[in-house]
Structure 1
Amino acid sequence: MISIISDLEAIAKLESGELEMQMEKFNLYNLVEDVFDLQEVRAKNRKVVLRYGKSMDKNTLVNADKQRIFQVLSNLVVNAIHYGFEGGHVTVSFYDMDKVILVQVRDTGVGISQSELPRIFERFYRVDKSRSREQGGTGLGLAIVKHIIEAHGQTINVNSSPGKGTSFTFTLEKAK
């Protein structure tokens, strides 16, 4: 109950513009490393391998709210672990797109049907209602992720194929 209230408060503040982003220059690779370290046990329990994309630049610097981007990455990685197939993997990749860095979090999991995709960023929306109790969570994670990315003036997208996996991509301002 406390986590639902906390998540709802965060969404309300993001929507109203009350929650200011604390912009700073930081190393995105190191932040992903921190997320992986925190989710290592969860991934092992599900027999999911956490890995970096092949073209990862360990010196990728972005200008963003580090704490909020940590929250975004954590949420996407946890979802990828939960909905990934046992023995599968979660891959985080970065792509230099001139003025922005494109971040991709991809899993080899159950995927999401095309009819469900337009609604996944809605509050409390769950694709697989039967897994709600088993997986836990508030149903607010992806709504918060979207609001955080939009509060940075950036975009988030999702592509998915049932039975093959899901890929979330978002952009962040490249640090100069």
Structure 2
Amino acid sequence: LFLSVNLIKMKVVIDFITYELPNGVFALKEFGMSSVGENENGNYETSHYVFKSPCDWLELPPEFQLTYKEQFKHHGIPWEAGSTEYNDTIQVIFEDLEHVTGIFVDSPKSKVILEDIIGKNKPINPIEGLAWLNNDRKSTRKACKVHQGDKFYCAYNNARRMSFWVKANEVLGELIGSKPTITMMKHININNTF
């Protein structure tokens, strides 16, 4: 699965699924990105990657196999799945982020992981500060084709949902002339728009 565009002067929301490798690296398995707002043609700019694994399953130490099996219960992406080479991870993400002016992620932990992958050259903000609720972050929907089954966590779908949330927060803030409160944001149900 692969769709990439060159995002020019836009804010984006990024979500991803990672797993740990023996060398202490968090590797990306799935990466989803969606612009906050529409482009001049009325479309959201998006990209979606599922990265191939860096090694054969049998080459992965047993403790890391066990960890991946546990994570598989949540994301449903087989180890061997992927259409983008593992060694191309940094390059394709940097190409998509070249002209991006701001990045949103779901949590401070995601910010740390993303900074580890791309560095600190782009401002990254957790949307928890915009009243993104923990139960919204974990919401599962029908996942993209790479996930085995129907109701797994999908980074691409979640990035799309979060981009609607950020946009709703911005619009509400403009209407009221200040930052929306958590109570105000609870009245916005993005599941009705996604």
TM over 0.5: same fold? no
TM-score by length of 1: 0.28
More strand by share: 1
Q: Give 1 or 2 for the bigger CA radius of gyration.
A: 2
When normalised by structure 2's length, the TM-score is: 0.26
